A and B are shown apart, each in its own frame.
Chain A
């Protein structure tokens, strides 16, 4: 597809999702309390979108991923929460990377 065709097919859907993201941030920032590791990972991923580099979906998923390799000692829950709690101690935001 040409860029024009992609825009014709997907722009309104992407615009809708972007407004939803903006409203989510407004909602969470309106609420009392502090950011947690999920929102911090979210902001880090968001910061990586506003450029012309490729692989934005892949890099967004990586921003939320557990980057460690050894298996954990024991599974204490079955659920995933969407972001790696330990990431912020290990990875700096993209703007501070060399």
Chain B
């Protein structure tokens, strides 16, 4: 079995996780920029983080034969401070030419506030100006439905954004249909307690088809499982899905979307 982990926060994981993922068949790991669990106090903190994602982390992954790619942005949890966000966004372009950068992400909303939406729109503008792919984080729990509506509305309002170059992540049963209907890709995150379980993710695949869907672990510093994708592949096999179907979902689909970036090479 081979797979691509399209969303993992490896800076928060121990090196043993890289080894376990490689042993499970992982060929590439993609790391969106996100919240560190605490608010950074200056743009310099983000500069160092972007350097970590583009310089240090690829070397750590390479020790286990894994390709490492990343996405850059300021995340929605730190977007209430618009001035800080603008300063961080101004840092991003100097990193976009680095060889493992895939695009702008994970941008999005957290509590669906006006400032979060303003910062989201600024980063959509950044992606459009630099012709970058977009990876979008949708809010948690009770905020996901409203946030997904706001995000889709903002993306549809910008005619420069091609929907097939956008992935809306963390979809669940109540948001997946509107994302696919908008022509965008949808990511299902496999978490033990929130988002999707393996069984529910496969239900969604069986209900909505597998053309523009991918699976990810989004493993980070919280309760999460870096092997969630291969475990879901095993669950698919238990349900009788053939190897080619599993390969499409966990390898071909992320490869197809990510290959729209000239930097994504396996």
Q: Are B113 and A61 in contact (CB under 8 A)?
A: no
CA–CA, A66 and B68, complex, Å:
37
Whether the Cβ atoms of B116 and A75 lie closer than 8 Å is yes
Interface size on A, residues (CB 8 A): 29
- With A1-B239, A69-B146, A71-B150 already in contact, the answer to whether A61 and B115 are too (CB < 8 A) is no
Contacts of A75 in B (CB 8 A): 80, 110-113, 115-116
User: How many contacts A-B (CB < 8 Å)?
Assistant: 81
Binary per-residue interface labels of chain B (107-133) against chain A in the complex, 1 for a CB within 8 Å, 0 otherwise: 000111111110000000000000000
Q: With a CB–CB cut-off of 8 A, which chain A residues contact B141?
A: 64, 80-83
**Chain A, interface SS category:** loop
- What is the bound-complex CA distance between A13 and B142, given in angstroms? 25
Check A3 for interface membership: any CB of B closer than 8 A.
Answer: no
Contact B142 A66 (CB under 8 A): yes
Q: Across the interface, name the chain A residue whose C-beta is closest to B176.
A: A58
Interface flags for A69-90 (1: CB within 8 Å of B; 0: not) read: 1011111111011111000000
Place the interface of chain B in its size category.
Answer: 20 to 34
Q: Which applies to chain B's interface (DSSP): helix, strand, loop or mixed?
A: helix
Q: Take A1-B239, A57-B203, A58-B173 as given contacts and tell me if A81 and B114 are in contact as well, using a CB distance cutoff of 8 Å.
A: no
Docked Cα-Cα span, A13 to B239, in Å, equals 15
Q: Given that A61-B174, A65-B174 are known contacts, is A71 also in contact with B113, CB under 8 Å in the complex? A: yes
Asked whether, in the complex, the Cβ of A72 is within 8 Å of the Cβ of B145, the reply is: no
Whole-angstrom CA separation of A61 from B200 in the bound complex = 13
Given the interface pairs A64-B141, A81-B141, the reply to whether A74 lies near B146 with Cβ below 8 Å is no
Residue B144 CB within 8 A of the other chain? yes
The contact of A10 among B150, B199, B240, by CB within 8 Å, is: B199
Residues of B within 8 A of A57 (CB): 172-173, 200, 203
- Determine if B143 is an interface residue (Cβ-Cβ < 8 Å): yes
Q: List 11 A-B contacts (CB under 8 A).
A: A13-B199, A58-B173, A65-B145, A65-B174, A67-B146, A71-B114, A75-B110, A75-B112, A75-B113, A77-B111, A80-B140
